Amino acid sequence: MHELAVTEDLLRIITDHAERGAATRVTDIYLVIGELSSFVDDSIQFYFDTLSSGTIAEGAQLHFERIKTRFRCRACGEEFEPQERDWRCPSCQALGGDVIAGKEFYVETIDVIS
C-alpha cells in the first residue's frame, strides 16, 4: 500500500503551504494524478482522513484530476491517447510513442481559511 507513503508526503506539503499562508484550516486539496502513476483515489482519501486528524487539514476534501496517458508519435509527431490494447498512431500506424502526459503526480492548489 504505497498510498500511505504518498499520503504522509501530501500532508507534509499542504501543512507547509498552509502555515506559510497563515491559514487556520485547509478545506480542499486539488491533486493532479496521471494514469501511469497508479494511485488509488479512495485509498489516499482513507489514509488522509486518518493521518490529518488533529492537524490543520482535518476534514479536508481531496479532489483528484486524472490525466489520461498521451503519446507523441516518434514517426510523425501526432499526439494521441493510446487505447487499452492498441498503441498504434492513428495517423501513421507506428507503434507507441514518447509519453507526454500521464505521469503527473502533484498537488496543484489548496483552499484555505485564514
Residue 55 has φ and ψ, to the nearest 5°, of -105, 175
Which of 92, 113 has the CB closer to other proteins? 113
> For other proteins, which residue of 15, 37, 46, 63 counts as binding (CB under 8 A)?
37
Mark residues 58-97: x for contact with other proteins by CB under 8 A, - for none. xx---------x----x---------xx-x-------xxx
- 51 scored as a contact of other proteins (CB under 8 A): no
Q: Are strands 70-72 and 98-101 parallel, antiparallel or unpaired?
A: antiparallel
Rounded to whole angstroms, how far apart are CA atoms 23 and 56?
8
- Output the nine-digit C-alpha cell for 32: 493532479
